[in-house]
Structure 1
Amino acid sequence: MTVSRTVQFEVSEEVAEFLHRKVESGAFPDEGAVVQHALEEATEVDAEFERWVQKQVLPTLERIDREGWNGISVDEARAELARRRLARQSAA
C-alpha cells in the first residue's frame, strides 16, 4: 500500500493554468494527480537515464581509459560531414 502525504508549494501562473487545463480535460481528477503523474514520469526517465549511463557510457569510458581513444576529432567529424553533404548535393 502506498503511503501518501500532503505537501503545499507555489507554482507560476503558467503552470497553474496548465494544471487546470489537464483537470478540465478530464485526464486527471485534480491538480495533485497531474503533479503526481509528472513526478512519476520524471522518476522513470531518471531511472532510464541512469541505466543507460551504467550500461553504455561507463563501459565505453572504461574501454577508452584502457585502450585509448581511437576515434576522430570533432574537427575531423565536421569535415567528413561537410564532405558528405557536398557529395549529396552534387549528386542531386
Structure 2
Amino acid sequence: MRPNRSITISLPEDMAELVQKKVASGEFADESEVVAEGLRYLADHDAGIESWLRDEVVPTVTAHDPSKAIPINEVRRRINAHMDARDRDTRLPE
C-alpha cells in the first residue's frame, strides 16, 4: 500500500454533493477514495490521449506523405468518434 498524504481541496457545491452521495451509497468508504478514483480516471484518460497521439498521430505526421492527407472534416469526425468511444468505455459507474 502506498503512503497517503493529506491535502485540503475545495469543490463546487455540486461536486461536493456527488462525493457525499458516492460515500453514502456505500460505493466508496470515504471521500478520499472518491477523489482518488476520479484522479485515476483522469490519469487513464490522459494516458489514452498520449498513446493515441504517439501511436497514430505522430507516425502520420512524420511520414510527410501527401497521399495520406485526410480532409479536416474527416479528422474532426474521427477525433469526436474516438473521444466518444473512449468516454463510453472509461466512464465511472453512476
Structure 1-normalised TM-score?
Answer: 0.70
Paired residues, number: 74
1:27 is matched with 27
- Could you tell me which runs of 5 or more consecutive residues in structure 2 were left unpaired when the two chains were aligned: 75-94
- Cα distance 1:62–1:10, how it changes in 2: closer, same or farther (>3 A)? same
Residue 7 of structure 2 corresponds to 7
Superposed displacement of residue 5, structure 1: 0.3
Give unmatched runs, 5+ long, in structure 1: 78-92
Residue 71 of structure 1, CA deviation: 3.9
1:77-92 matches, cutoff 5 A: none
Q: Which amino acid aligns with 2:52?
A: W
Amino acid at match of 1:19: V
Report the structure number with the largest CA radius of gyration.
1
Alpha-carbon distance in 2 for matches of 1:74, 1:55: 20
2 CA distance for matches of 1:30 and 1:72? 48
Which AA in structure 1 matches 2:29? P
* TM-superposed deviation, 1:20: 0.6
Q: Which amino acid aligns with 1:68?
A: P
TM-score, with length taken from structure 2: 0.68
Identity %: 31
**Stretches (4+) displaced over 3 A:** 69-75
